[in-house]
Amino acid sequence: MKINEITPQITGNAPGKTQQTAETSFNNLLNAKLGVISASKASSPVSAVSSAAPTDSSLRLESLTVTENAINTLDCYGTALKNPSLSTEDLRPFISAMEEETSAILAIREKISGEDPLAGLLDRVATVTYLETAKYHRGDYSN
């Protein structure tokens, strides 16, 4: 059985509506939107990229490298904390590395604008590394 035989009333036009194919109405809408978009591009020469000053690619690469190193150090530190045979003094190299990485992250962070998404990443990693070093110095991991 065909669908048309089941619901023949659907094929008729609704009262008060003009008959227009879906293709024609879609083309009209598309052309109208394209006209609006091209008009706005012609009137505003502003780039679609953020209005914030772009960060130098070498600075971005350096910040990502330092961040990656800090995350790796945090990972190794977490693994070392799980090992009950390590003493508090055995954790000291991790703490020294995290303190150096935190200061390197903060130095790079000063050069990046606050609107850059990379700034948020740097802030979060610096916060975590600082907190872990503070916990160590406070004695949270003492045996």
Domain coordinates in residue numbering, the chain: 57-138
* Token pair of 98 as six digits: 């995290």
In this predicted structure, the answer to whether residue 107 has a pLDDT above a threshold of 70 is: yes
pTM of the model: 0.59
Q: Percent of the chain beyond pLDDT 90?
A: 46
Write the pLDDT tens digit of every residue in 19-60: 555 556 767 776 776 676 665 555 555 444 444 445 588 889
Write the pLDDT tens digit of every residue in 121-142: 999 999 999 999 999 999 988 7
